[in-house]
Each structure stands twice: as C-alpha cells, then as structure tokens.
C-alpha cells in the first residue's frame, strides 16, 4: 500500500476441544496494480486451533517489507512424529523473517543455498534440501531427494517431516494447507519466497495472462536425465538424487526456478510467481530475485545448513559406505 499504514495480519489460536487439526486466523491479501498485495476486502479464512499448541503468527508490512513472526506449527493435521523414518517430534520455533513488498528480478538467477526457500502463510517453512548424500559425503555431489521414494525420511501426506531441531517443514505440495486455501477455478496463494515473490499451488491458468482460461496442473521444465551417472553411485538415473534431473527450456510451463509471469487473483495485473509442483523440483531450487538475508542467517534451527546440520552444510556423524544414507533430517 503506497504511503499507507502498516497492515497487520495476526494469527491467534483459540484452543478447541477434541482432535483439532489446525489453528489460527489469517487473511489472504488482495490485489493492487503494482503487484504488491494488500487488503481490499474481507476475504478471511477461518482456521481452527490445534490441540498440540497455540499458534501465534503475525504478518505485517513494515518499511517496504512483509515481516513474518511465527512459531512454525502447521495449521492442519500432520503425520505421526516420531515415526519409523523420522525420530523427531514437532515443537514450536521462533521465526522472524522478512521479504520485500516490491520484489525485483535480478540479472541472473540465484541458486538456493542450503536453507529455506520461503515461508507458507501458516508460518511453516518450504525447505526442499536434505542432508543425506551418497556414502554420507557432501563432496560427492550426489544429494538424496526427500520425495524420491528411495530413502525413508518419514514424509507425511503434506510432503513434510521434522528436522532434528524439531522444525516441521515442507518438501513439496502442502496438501493440508492447500485444501484449506484453495478456491474453485483459482490458483491458490500458499506463501512467499525469500526474495518476496509469491508462491502458489500446483494449478494455474492455462494461459498465464488470461484469468478466464481453464485451471490446469502446471508442468515443471525439469526431467530425468538420460543415460547413466558419470560418477558417484553410477548406474541409471532413477530420480534418487537431485542431480538425476535436468532443466530443459520449453519442456514444461515453468522456468528453471519453477516460476512464471502471469495473473493471479491477488495480482490481476500480473506478477512473477513460483509454483509448488507434484513433480521435481517440487519446491523451487533457485530464486529469480534476491533472497533476503534473514532467510540465510535466519531462525536458530536453520543456521549452519539444511535439516539442522552443522556449519558448512554437511551432515553430522557417519554412515556405511555405499549403503542407505543415515537419516540426518
């Protein structure tokens, strides 16, 4: 909002009796011509409280930034944690992050460092990387993908699990959140990337510039490589590792960062936006803009690399050479 007061969106939990599955109240931003979403109506989404813990998430506009303060607790049911593939229990976090209200594309893309890509409207992180590598060696260059199905990391139906420092986070489509915010015939706003551009669910308009065109599942431009791996584990490319995939221009609907320019309900005049897809890369692995430093230094559990690993991004401990990767989370 140009020259206007800061807009606060506060999620306050109201504890409910029985097996509640969600918590908080938040508002979906409305449109504005300069692609900065602000409130233009009463489009409130009612999210009921969790029996696990009270959520307190605050989203404010302050001095050109959208500021998130959140405890990282999901607003939907989750899998059972700990579980056979994941020994960690969900606990409150203490996030304070900011993204620009008027993000700009950079001259070149920025690869996602080992840390979160963005934050969902419910305060849960999008964090696609894992700390598992071939032979437990980050220097090998072969990083296990969490949603490959070839390594059990205890992922639940929301394509999420828990880091060893107790942070619940998404590796793919946040099914529970999407079910709550999706509206018939419209792309679903799910959150914001660290560079400030919005993040949407897997469906978008067939014609990116035409909101009257049908809603379709958007296709990423990434595909499985052909042939065999030249190093590391060798053998055919199976999708086990992030490096098993390649981006091919024109192969899908989205660019290398899983995004595109187009109109959405919140941005009727168009904006660049990212898409969480059902196929690799699931959550984008690069930025079109410049990620804010708060995501790099970020929440305590994020410091030093993904999945709660040590400084430098490598996983702690050891594992048997050539065997299944030890679970690091």
Query: pLDDT tens digits for the chain (329 residues)?
Result: 333 333 344 443 322 222 223 333 233 343 333 344 433 222 222 333 333 334 578 899 999 999 999 999 999 999 999 999 999 999 999 999 999 999 999 999 999 988 899 999 999 999 999 999 999 999 999 999 999 998 999 999 999 999 988 999 999 999 999 999 999 999 999 999 999 999 999 999 999 999 999 999 999 999 999 999 999 999 999 999 999 999 999 999 999 999 999 999 999 999 999 999 999 999 999 999 999 999 985 444 343 333 433 323 333 223 333 444 544 44
Alpha-carbon gap, residue 306 to 184, rounded angstroms:
35
The pTM for the full model equals 0.80
Alpha-carbon gap, residue 293 to 100, rounded angstroms:
11
Pull the structure tokens for residue 268.
């009727």
CA neighbours within 13 Å on the CB side: how many for 142?
Answer: 20
Phi, psi (degrees; rounded to nearest 5) at 95: -90, 135
Alpha-carbon gap, residue 264 to 201, rounded angstroms:
11
Check if the beta carbon of residue 75 is closer than 8 Å to that of residue 23. yes
Helix, coil or strand: residue 143: strand
Of 295, 296, 294, 289, the closest CA to residue 274 belongs to: 289
Helix, coil or strand: residue 140: helix
């Amino acid at each position: 909002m140009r020259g206007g007061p800061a807009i606060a969106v506060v999620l306050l939990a109201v504890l409910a009796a029985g097996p509640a599955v969600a918590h908080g109240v938040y508002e979906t931003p409305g449109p504005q011509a300069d692609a900065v979403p602000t409130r233009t109506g009463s489009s409130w989404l009612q999210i009921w409280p969790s029996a696990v813990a009270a959520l307190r998430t605050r989203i404010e506009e302050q001095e050109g930034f959208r500021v998130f303060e959140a405890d990282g607790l999901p607003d939907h049911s989750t899998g059972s944690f700990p579980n056979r593939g994941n020994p960690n229990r969900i606990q409150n976090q203490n996030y304070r992050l900011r993204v620009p209200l008027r993000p700009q594309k950079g001259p070149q893309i920025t690869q996602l460092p080992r840390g979160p890509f963005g934050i969902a409207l419910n305060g849960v992180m999008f964090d696609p990387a894992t700390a598992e590598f071939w032979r437990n060696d980050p220097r090998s260059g072969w990083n296990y993908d969490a949603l490959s199905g070839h390594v059990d990391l205890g992922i639940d139906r929301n394509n999420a699990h828990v880091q060893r420092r107790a942070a619940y986070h998404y590796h793919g489509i946040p099914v529970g959140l999407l079910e709550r915010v999706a509206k018939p015939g419209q792309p679903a706003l799910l959150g914001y990337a660290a560079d400030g551009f919005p993040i949407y669910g897997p469906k978008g308009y067939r014609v990116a510039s035409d909101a009257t065109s049908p809603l379709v599942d958007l296709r990423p431009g990434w595909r499985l490589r052909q042939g065999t791996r030249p190093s590391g584990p060798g053998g055919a490319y199976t999708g086990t590792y992030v490096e098993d995939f390649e981006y091919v221009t024109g192969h899908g609907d989205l660019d290398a960062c899983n995004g595109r320019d187009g109109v959405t309900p919140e941005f009727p005049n168009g904006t660049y936006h990212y898409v969480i897809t059902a196929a690799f890369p699931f959550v984008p692995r690069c930025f079109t803009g410049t990620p804010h430093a708060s995501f790099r230094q970020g929440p305590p559990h994020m410091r030093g690399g993904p999945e709660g690993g040590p400084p430098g991004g490598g996983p702690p401990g050891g594992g048997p050479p050539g065997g299944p990767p030890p679970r690091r989370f």
